[in-house]
Structure 1
């Protein structure tokens, strides 16, 4: 009996030892596995070319196409209501999941055939809002000329002078236009009013002033959940004067997504030039001159940036820009659009550096400037 008891105790000890041994072996294996995982980095991911990735994305077969078509057709019954809201002085704000581009364009081409329509693609990375105001001013100017049947000299502005006017002057003109036809207005369609090219406060305030003009009606779409935070009470209820419509379409954002950088894709030099071209063409001629001087200096001195003071001296010699504040304003705009990088050197000088390699920059200067 005593031998049997000792044997059972030894067997229990062996089981406990085996359990402990297995436990620590498992911990050791888990620890080594964690160490091996920690060596992996995001930069080690084998990314593909952006164009190749976009082509693959376009080839993805859409789902529920017939249901989406039926849903879009169901919204057509609301077109008369939307048109009535515009005639009564309201703006239309479309929200809901899915791209609303096709829906709004169909509404404009179907219900607004008697009115002029100007389209703003807010999903673009950069938008020249002044060109939009000029286009609207020209449309209203032509309408004034046709309706009032007055001579060229009697009009407050000439069509040729719009390009030389400031944005404040253009907005004042749009707000003070007098046309005998009381029901006439110009529709402004804004796809993605919360898009990257329209998100700053100054642009939103300008759009609000535009929407408040007597002969302007805005039809816009939003997609970001926090987009209404762009507007205060006065902007939303008085200037834009929104009528909110929940119109989920569940349609893919194919067109809008083309202008956003893709994750897991290499950014090619061609794409960099394309993006820089869009940004630069949206800037004023003076800003383009600043960029050209920066680019020429960077090509000659690739290892250093261009100090602001030195930049002003060069601009003054070329009789382009005289004020340091003007140069700072243009550089800040370029930095905002990630066209240049602002650096501070050891001697406390603020320097600017264009964020492309020299070969790409040289091609860009030859093609654009």
Structure 2
């Protein structure tokens, strides 16, 4: 018997069966169901159901976190040796980093950047760092602050101060905790360049977390080894991304007003009290004038000036830029030609936002 002919017959039989199956499959009745017909639940209900999921392996996870806490002294030593800490691994690392900062770094000033927010004002962060550092160290450049406030300086000048301020104390630094340095508001090239230069400043230390698989592609070799000078730590926590996931829509849910309220409230609570007060002025005007197209910028400035919330148009514009970056406020052209500000929320949702912020 010819073995080769048997193999050929087997291959031909397989091919015939394959095309026969394709023919029968194409002739069968196709499903008429559509994706749009799926009964999608309300997002608030889905999040509530997810929040009620009972945690598993609590003892093992607690033991795991305790193991990380035993490494705090090692992490502080790395910071004092001018390394930056980069935490990666499955699970939210927000609680872990904040616990590390509040306990092991209690002697140092700490500023937190929530990289999971849709937009970040990096210059405001650098201004805050410069103000904290200027109060913390004894610098020979006292004229640097008195002649020109930090708020009116460029990012380049702020970086020069953070790197050049002189101090008699050893290990004097301000720690910047960045939750999700690979977040949507920070992952563009220019922002990563500024963060790398910030990390290279002599009085700044970075403690950051990443969650995206391709996060290391944000940096080149110079940024990794010379500027950030990362010390990598694998710290899976298996904790849910409750806060970080607040800004990402759930696949099986449709968005609702309650979600918009929570998102707006979280963003507002991360802003300064003055910025919150300016937002409240605009919100109160919108609620009391529901038929108007919005509040003219000149009217908002006059009210805020009377209430001593802003000292100049420049200050108001900085608040408005922050609102627009976070999509809290939008601009539209009034019928008389002037630009008006409005909050893209229904009256009921806007009232809930005010209640959330006032708590």
- TM category, shorter: 0.5 to 0.7
Give the Cα separation in 2 of the matches to 1:109 and 1:336.
29
Is contact 2:115-2:182 (8 Å) kept?
Answer: yes
Equivalent position of 2:47 in the other structure: 54
Aligned in 2, Cα 1:239/1:189: closer, same or farther, shift over 3 Å?
A: same
Aligned in 2, Cα 1:251/1:363: closer, same or farther, shift over 3 Å?
A: closer
- Mean alpha-carbon deviation: is it higher for 332-341 or for 258-267? 332-341
2:197 maps to 1:203: no
Aligned in 2, Cα 1:273/1:166: closer, same or farther, shift over 3 Å?
A: farther
Is contact 1:188-1:218 (8 Å) kept?
Answer: yes
- Mean alpha-carbon deviation: is it higher for 157-166 or for 93-102? 157-166
Equivalent position of 1:169 in the other structure: 157
Equivalent position of 2:81 in the other structure: 88
Structure-to-structure mapping, 1:150-229, within 5 angstroms: 154-158=142-146, 161-229=149-217
Give the Cα separation in 1 of the matches to 2:98 and 2:147.
28
2:59 maps to 1:63: no
2:117 maps to 1:120: no
| Structure 2 gap segments, 5+ residues each | 1-22, 297-311, 332-341
Give the Cα separation in 1 of the matches to 2:35 and 2:216.
43
Deviation at 1:260, TM superposition (A): 2.8
Select the residue among 41, 52, 56 that pairs with 2:37. Answer: 41
Give the Cα separation in 1 of the matches to 2:35 and 2:111.
54
1:168-198 deviations in Å (ceiling 9; x for gaps): 2222211111111122111111111112222
1:13-43 deviations in Å (ceiling 9; x for gaps): xxxxxxxxxx99x965x44xx23x248535x
- Return the index of the structure with the highest Cα Rg: 1
Equivalent position of 2:300 in the other structure: none
Give the Cα separation in 2 of the matches to 1:273 and 1:191.
22
Equivalent position of 2:256 in the other structure: 268
Deviation at 1:213, TM superposition (A): 0.6
Aligned in 2, Cα 1:49/1:228: closer, same or farther, shift over 3 Å?
A: closer
Aligned with 1:258: secondary structure? Answer: helix
Q: Considering only aligned residues, what root-mean-square deviation do their CA atoms show, in Å?
A: 4.7
Give the Cα separation in 2 of the matches to 1:278 and 1:77.
32
Alignment: residue pair count: 315
Deviation at 1:64, TM superposition (A): 0.7
Aligned with 2:166: secondary structure? Answer: coil
Give the Cα separation in 2 of the matches to 1:102 and 1:358.
34
Aligned with 1:219: secondary structure? Answer: strand
What TM-score, normalized by structure 2, do the two folds share? 0.67
Select the residue among 212, 235, 245 that pairs with 1:247. Answer: 235
Give the Cα separation in 1 of the matches to 2:164 and 2:35.
66
| Structure 1 gap segments, 5+ residues each | 1-22, 303-310, 312-319, 322-326, 343-352
